[in-house]
Amino acid sequence: MKHHLNIIILALRAAITFATGMVLYYFGTAYRLITQNDPALLKGFFANYFTPLYHNTIDGNTIWLGTAFCIAYGLLLIYIIIGITCFYRCLLRIEKGKMFYHTQGNQFRRAGSTFIIFAKVKYVLFVATGALLYFDVKIFFTEIPAFLALYLIGKLILVMSHMAEKGEFIKEENELTI
Amino acid sequence: MKHHINIVIIALRVILFAAAVMCIINLLKAYEFISTSDIDNLYSYFDTLFTPIDSATLNNRKILGVPYLANLKWIAIGFTLCYTALLIYGMLGIIQFYKCLLKIEKDQIFYHTQGNQFRKVGATVIIFAKVKYILFCFIGILSYFDISQFFKQIPMLLSLYLIGKLILIMSYMAERGEFIKEENDLTV
């Protein structure tokens, strides 16, 4: 079983490192957008994420919208890093043989709800920014697979939290009986 | 908690339905390929799945992969049948997971075979992920020399593989829970 746990732990470490890199990238982009105030930079950056419905022109105001998007997404990534760290700590304890300890259910629940909130807010953020900046209607559908995957993983972690809570209860009962 | 389990159950029902529809479509395609020898139909089917290294060669597909050496027809039939069998295997795993969650929803947690059932589900998901990756890469290379499949299939492989591992951790939790519950029952 340790082998499976180790693989998930490795994947979580990779996810944390990757998310940290993304946070730095988004904050760096926000800083560049503010200091350089160059619409071409904004256009180039968002061309990777959104496809415009029309060839709209970008005025100065959208620079601030772009900056807000970068900062909001950076903060959202920090939020998910906290959730992943919580899940990572839970799994580390399980790896050390500490199953059904006092706060395990709570920790799993927190990690699960963080995943679900992240999935929902990311979807809303991308859809709102795409619609506001580029009238991008396609983003409503292209973001759905990522949203669903994260949402269902969150729900699966919540089912794990339910199992952990039940296990905690039985374990406590067992110790009291003895 | 029932609300969360219900959502996962609904998602599993939707996945089962989608997989069943895909099986039927694949079987119909296989029948179509067996009964007719329309080469354009074969190419249009592979066009939806794979892209050759150089898109310019799409006009002269016969120089790509197996068509250069043999008939593409039997590759297409083999692929559709293998993919259908794989989907049925995946569906069996999902049905088992669905049954486990239905029991948890009914508050039957840490019952005798729960750990085993979860372990079987996790292993099925992992095997499905690996075999699907190999099948798509292999057929992509055979039909269109499509090397990009090696990279395109990685996100799906990784996500399914990690979900499988997560279910295996659930099996470990269930096994430990079963053990403690049994101990508790014996003490009482």
Tens of pLDDT along B104-135? 888 888 888 888 899 999 999 999 999 999 99
Q: How far is CA B16 from CA A74, A171, B95, B165, in A?
A: 36, 36, 8, 20
Chain A: closest CA distance from residue B7 (Å): 8
A36: which 2 tokens? Answer: 């350089």
B156: which 2 tokens? Answer: 């799906």
In chain B, whose CA is at the least distance from the CA of A166? B109
Residue A1's SS3 state is coil
Q: Which of residues 49-78 of B touch A (CB under 8 A)?
A: none
Alpha helices in chain B (DSSP H): 2-35, 39-49, 72-105, 114-144, 149-152, 154-187
In chain B, whose CA is at the least distance from the CA of A2? B169
What 3 state SS string does A101-159 have?
Answer: CCCHHHHHHHHHHHHHHHHHHHHHHHHHHHHHHHCCCCHHHHCHHHHHHHHHHHHHHHH
d(CA A78, CA B38): 55
Query: How high is the pLDDT of residue B43?
Result: 77
pLDDT exceeds 70 at position A178: no
Query: How high is the pLDDT of residue A56?
Result: 55
Q: Where are the domains of chain B?
A: 2-187
Query: How high is the pLDDT of residue B96?
Result: 92
Contact across the interface for A160 and B1, Cβ inside 8 Å = no
More confident site: B15 or A41: B15
> Which residues, at least 6 apart from A110, have a Cβ–Cβ distance to it below 8 Å?
A83, A86
More confident site: A64 or B62: A64
Query: How high is the pLDDT of residue B165?
Result: 92
Touching check for A149 and chain B: CB below 8 Å? Answer: yes
Under the banding of pLDDT at 50, 70 and 90, the label for residue A54 is low
Contact across the interface for B172 and A163, Cβ inside 8 Å = no
ipTM exceeds 0.90: no
Query: How high is the pLDDT of residue B164?
Result: 93
Q: How far is CA B25 from CA A33, B41, B42, B87, in A?
A: 49, 15, 15, 12
pLDDT exceeds 60 at position A73: yes
> Which residues, at least 6 apart from A57, have a Cβ–Cβ distance to it below 8 Å?
none
Q: Which of B7, B165, B172 comes nearest A7 by C-beta?
A: B165
Which pTM was predicted? 0.85
Which of A46-50, B74-78, B82-86 is modeled with the greatest confidence? B82-86
Total number of domains constituting chain A: 1
Contact across the interface for A174 and B187, Cβ inside 8 Å = yes
| DSSP H or E stretch at residue A83 | helix A61-95
Chain A: closest CA distance from residue B72 (Å): 33
Number of residues that make up chain A: 178
Percent of residues, chain B, with pLDDT higher than 90: 39
Average of per-residue pLDDT across B136-161:
86
Of B87, B175, B70, the closest CA to residue B125 belongs to B87
Amino acid at B94: I
Contact across the interface for B110 and A7, Cβ inside 8 Å = no
Chain B: closest CA distance from residue A149 (Å): 9
Q: What is the pLDDT of residues A141-173, one digit of tens each?
A: 888 988 998 999 999 999 999 888 888 888 888
Query: How high is the pLDDT of residue A110?
Result: 92
Touching check for A82 and chain B: CB below 8 Å? Answer: no
Residues A136, A130 contacting (CB under 8 angstroms) = yes
Q: What average pLDDT does chain A have? A: 85
Q: Which residues in chain A touch residue B158, judged by CB atoms under 8 angstroms apart?
A: 11
Which of A70-84, B57-71, B141-155 is modeled with the greatest confidence? A70-84
Query: How high is the pLDDT of residue B91?
Result: 94
pLDDT exceeds 60 at position B69: no
Percent of residues, chain A, with pLDDT higher than 70: 94
d(CA A30, CA A41): 11
pLDDT exceeds 90 at position A136: no
d(CA A77, CA A20): 8
Q: What is the pLDDT of residues A85-126, one digit of tens each?
A: 999 999 999 888 888 888 888 899 999 999 999 999 999 999
